[in-house]
Amino acid sequence: MNICINDAAAHYTPEEGDPLLLARGDLVKIDLGAHVDGFIADTAITVEISTYNWRELMKASEEALNIALEMLSPGVGVASIGTAVEMAITSRGFRPIANLTGHAMQRGNLHAGIAVPNVSGGEAAVLPSGTAVAIEPFATNGRGRVDGNRKGNIYQVTRERDLKDQAGNDLLKDIINRFGRLPFAARWCAPFSDKYEALIRRLWRHGNLHSYPVLSEIAGGMVSQNEHSALILEDTSIVYTR
């Protein structure tokens, strides 16, 4: 579960005992994934807390998503989707976030090679029949880019290499057995060890884990996001997170 507030666009998830509270006027992106036997669904929505200041920004990403979903069919070019998303967002006076994309998904693999841009001028890749894909436009009143200067609390196994201490090796085995190669929140490791936070940092420094940084709009702009997952079939597509 990603819970990203205001200028944060992606990869914030609470740590154990996180004291952060939502406040009136916050623009909150709720981005969550689920899987059944490794087959993944990824979806997101934006909500505003008790105010109505960001309705147009929220409509920009929502409308861009709906247009992109209507375009999905076997052989559609991802560049054309990016162009349509950008036009939908800019027509409302906002900018798409250029360095965030949608993504193809495979069993046990959340980001499976093909990226679906939110701006024009992308690569010439197409979405073939049989592809599961997450489409996720981001809209902002900022400059249209994010950076990752804040350390996050989401990790993913990148390799299996023994540490010198058995506790770290045991935690890595527990993580692989429970989460495979899918991203996980550090707090989920609490049942494995009462020292899980220090062990996760050790595994990260050793290169066994990748850490996802919190991605925030570079000019502090507000960000809205909408996302659905779809399966491309032989002559149509099915949106399976509605």
Q: Residues with catalytic annotation?
A: 31, 42, 103, 111, 136, 227
Cα of 120 vs its chain's centroid, Å: 20
Q: What are the tokens at 164?
A: 């010198």
**Which single residue is written with the structure tokens 């105010």?**
51
Please, are residues 46 and 53 in contact by the beta-carbon 8 Å criterion? no
- Enter the tokens of residue 70: 């209507």
Q: Residue 154: which of 127, 129, 179 has the closest Cα? A: 179
Q: Which amino acid is at 136?
A: E
